[in-house]
Structure 1
Amino acid sequence: MKNKYKKLALGLLFDAFGYASFAFPMLDIVWAPLSAYLMTKMYKGKEGKIAAAITFVEEAMPFLDVIPTFTLMWLYTFVFKKEKETTIEV
Structure 2
Amino acid sequence: MNNKYKKLAASIVLDAIGFIPVPFLDLLWAPVSGYIMTKMYKGKTGKIAGIVSFLEEILPLDIIPTFTIMWIYTYVINKKKEDSIIEV
TM range (shorter): over 0.9
- The CA deviation at 1:2 is 1.1
Quick one: percent identity of the two aligned structures? 59
Runs of 4+ in 1 over 4 A off after TM superposition: none
Distance (whole Å) between structure 1 residues aligned to residue 28 and residue 6 of structure 2: 24
Provide the alpha-carbon RMSD of the alignment: 1.2
What amino acid is the match of 1:11? S
Partner of 1:32: 30
Higher fraction of helix: 1
Tell me how many residue pairs correspond in the alignment: 87
Partner of 1:66: 63
Unaligned runs of 5+ in 2: none
Partner of 2:41: 43
Deviations 1:35-81 (A, max 9, x none): 0000011000000000000000000001x000000000000000000
Deviations 1:10-29 (A, max 9, x none): 00000000000x2x021101
Distance (whole Å) between structure 2 residues aligned to residue 89 and residue 59 of structure 1: 39
